[in-house]
Amino acid sequence: MKRYRNILNTTLLALALTTISCDSMLEVEPQDKYLSNSYMISEEQVFSVLIAAYDPLQWSYVDGRWVSVVMLGEIWSDNANAGGDQTNGDQPGWQEIDDLKVATTSPDVQALWKKYYFGINKANQVLNNAKITSPVVEQYQAEAKFLRAFYHFELFRTFGPIPVITSEPAPDDRSFTRKTMTEVFSQITTDLEEAIPLLPVAYSEAFAGRITKGAAQALLGKAYLYWADLNDDDTELFDKAAASLLDVIESGQYELLDDYSELYAFGAANSSESVFEIQYTNEIPAGWSDPFFIINGNMIVQLCGIRGLCTNHPLYNEGWGFMLPTDDLYDSFLPDDLIRRDASIISQTQLALSGCAVSASVQNPIDFEGYWQKKYANYKGYSPPHGGEPNILKDPNQPYIRYADVLLMYAEALVRGTGSTTEAQTYINMVRERAAGPGDNTGSFRTAAQLMTDEGWTLLEVIWYERRAELAGEGDRWFDLVRSGRATSDLFDASNPRNANFDDNDRFLPIPQRDIDVMSGNLTAYPDPSLFQ
């Protein structure tokens, strides 16, 4: 999907005093093509505003700050360290997230907050301001409901219970407060449930990335899973998650790729495993000088590429060395699970063996443990014209929900609800078989039952292992830990300063101070425990 811009610019009316009289004004006709009170009177105009609601999905740079849910979910967790240059001060906002020392004045936090609420505002315009009704407009509004639910969901995962906004607020409204968890998830699930019947099963290739019925069902299942987990393991909500995720499975629209290593290969996009995938392009934005508009390319490729890489490497260009995998992640892969490990992580040892040794001296001395992420590799194939100008404009998509994720979420919902543990193992084994390598791997991988016997794990522990191994480097790790109550100081190595810093507030980022001030103190930096009801 091409980069979308908000075409609803505010009309500026020029007022001028004449030199003859202070009471005289020069009347100037509005110069823009449309006024807000006469817009969205056609399907085409409603679609243009829907495009603006999609737009923040792509934003990887907001107000001069890098934003990425992938980096957030990995660096915040035990999967990765911030990384960067030798000073340990490169991109201080990400260093603060890594060290659990995030202040309300952090511009990086403010950028994330702004991205999601901007998207909510645009979705609300589609839902509240359309002046035409038709089946086509109803579909557009269903897509907008998905987007509104998605942005609220990401805000909740990042900041905890947050204000729910379903209409454009008045400029002088200072009454917004955090809602309870139930109020937030009720809005998210209602939006998705209302959207699902109106969404198509699929689109043509030209419209890849638009919201489908399966994407909405998968996000609904994910939302119910989080809600159930945080609501004292609510069995009824787990069953609702399972029902929605089963709808995705039974649709027959998705299947696992045969080869795990192809998921993030150069040029991979919108595969049979893609349920919801954020689209990127390498087109050069017109407003390059304005950092707010650097939103086309997927910046994670350059930001998290291998720092200090030799120029003669056959596949990769050098990157900036962020989101560095930890020993803990590398060592967590079972000895018979090396295909997933080596598709997710590249080690200093591997590079040396390939004849492209990278010195540790150019890495962040505190964060570098001998590894770099591999799923968003900085392929030489992204060089101009594929990479655009400058070098951050690279276009690999971001899979947000893969079919493997759906299968594992469904298995978890069955185990934690009233479903069949035998059925749950069937879907776990589908993911594990693919992880053993392409082709027919029957008998060459350990089943969930064998893992429970060999490793002494419960079935839920098998699922948690599978989620970490399958989704390594994709941004779900921290949020999985928080929702399941596993985000504690024990999570981190004893020598890591995060152990000393960790408290319950660190499960979420603080609401930006600017917004706390604007709301006259009605917003709190962190959610009160009473809101989780």
Q: Helix or strand or coil: residue 277?
A: strand
In a domain, 91, yes or no: no
Provide the pLDDT for residue 4. Answer: 38
Position 61 scores a pLDDT of 84
Helix (H) or strand (E) holding 372: strand 371-373
C-alpha neighbours within 13 Å on the C-beta side of residue 238: 20
- Alpha helices in 107-212, H assignment, sequence order: 107-129, 135-159, 181-195
Do 228 and 245 touch, CB atoms closer than 8 A?
Answer: no
Does residue 335 have a cis peptide bond before it, meaning omega lies within 30 degrees of 0?
no
pLDDT digits (tens, 9 = 90+) for 299-308: 899 999 999 9
Q: 9 near 32, Cβ under 8 Å?
A: yes
Nearest Cα residue to 121 out of 143, 160, 162, 151: 151
pTM for this model (two decimals): 0.92
* pLDDT tens-place string over residues 471-504: 999 999 999 999 999 999 888 877 777 788 888 8
pLDDT in tens, 381-411: 987 777 766 667 788 999 999 999 999 999 9
Span 265-288, average pLDDT: 85
**Is 382 inside any structural domain?**
yes
How far is it, in rounded angstroms, from Cα 229 to Cα 222? 11
Percentage of the chain with pLDDT > 70? 90
Q: Record the tokens describing residue 332, joined without a space.
A: 């967590």
Of 124, 131, 122, nearest in space to 38 by CA: 131
Residue-wise pLDDT tens digits, 324-371? 999 999 999 999 999 999 999 999 999 999 899 999 999 999 999 999
Give the structural domain span for 371. 297-398
Instruction: Kindly tell me if the per-residue pLDDT of 5 is higher than 70.
Output: no
Is 332 within the bounds of a domain? yes
If residue 414 lies in a helix (H) or strand (E), which one and from where to where? helix 403-416
Among 225-229, 309-313, 440-444, the range scoring the smallest mean pLDDT is 440-444
Give the total number of structural domains in the chain: 1
Give the per-residue pLDDT at 9: 32
* CA nearest to 218, candidates 257, 248, 184: 248
**In-domain check, residue 389:** yes
Q: Give me the pLDDT at residue 509, please.
A: 98
**Assigned domain for 258 exists:** no
pLDDT at 37: 67
Residue type, 49: V
Q: Is the pLDDT of residue 374 over 80?
A: yes
Residue 289 lies in a domain: no
The answer to whether the beta carbons of residues 367 and 81 sit under 8 Å apart is: yes
One-letter amino acid at 359 equals S
pLDDT at 91: 92
Please check the confidence at residue 102 and state whether its pLDDT lies above 80: yes
Give the pLDDT mean for 4-13. Answer: 30
SS3 65: strand
pLDDT at 16: 25
Q: Give Cα separations from 460 to 257, 464, 493 (angstroms).
A: 25, 6, 23
pLDDT of residue 18: 26
Phi (first) and psi of residue 400, to 5 degrees: -95, -45
Integer Cα distance of 300 and 59 in angstroms = 11
Is 456 part of any domain? no
Q: How far is CA 196 from the centre of its chain?
A: 21
| pLDDT value of position 13 | 23
Please report the pLDDT score of residue 440 as a whole number: 80
Read off the pLDDT of residues 106-131 as tens digits, 9 standing for 90 and up: 999 999 999 999 999 999 999 999 99
Please give the single-letter amino acid code of residue 114. Answer: K
pLDDT of residue 277: 98
Mention every residue, 6+ apart, whose C-beta is less than 8 A from residue 376: 70, 264, 298, 300, 301, 304, 305, 396, 473
Q: What is the pLDDT of residue 501?
A: 83
The β-bridge partners of 373 are 345
Give me the mean pLDDT over the 407-432 stretch.
98
Given pLDDT bands bounded at 50, 70 and 90, which one contains residue 34?
Answer: low
- Express each pLDDT in 230-262 by its tens digit: 999 999 999 999 999 999 999 999 999 999 999
Are 6 and 54 a contacting pair, CB within 8 Å? no
For the stretch 454-475, pLDDT in tens is: 999 999 999 999 999 999 999 9
pLDDT of the residue at 290:
58
Whether residue 212 is contained in a domain is answered as no
| Residue 63 predicted with pLDDT over 90 | no
Quick check: 320 pLDDT over 50? yes
Closest CA to 482 of 233, 157, 96: 157
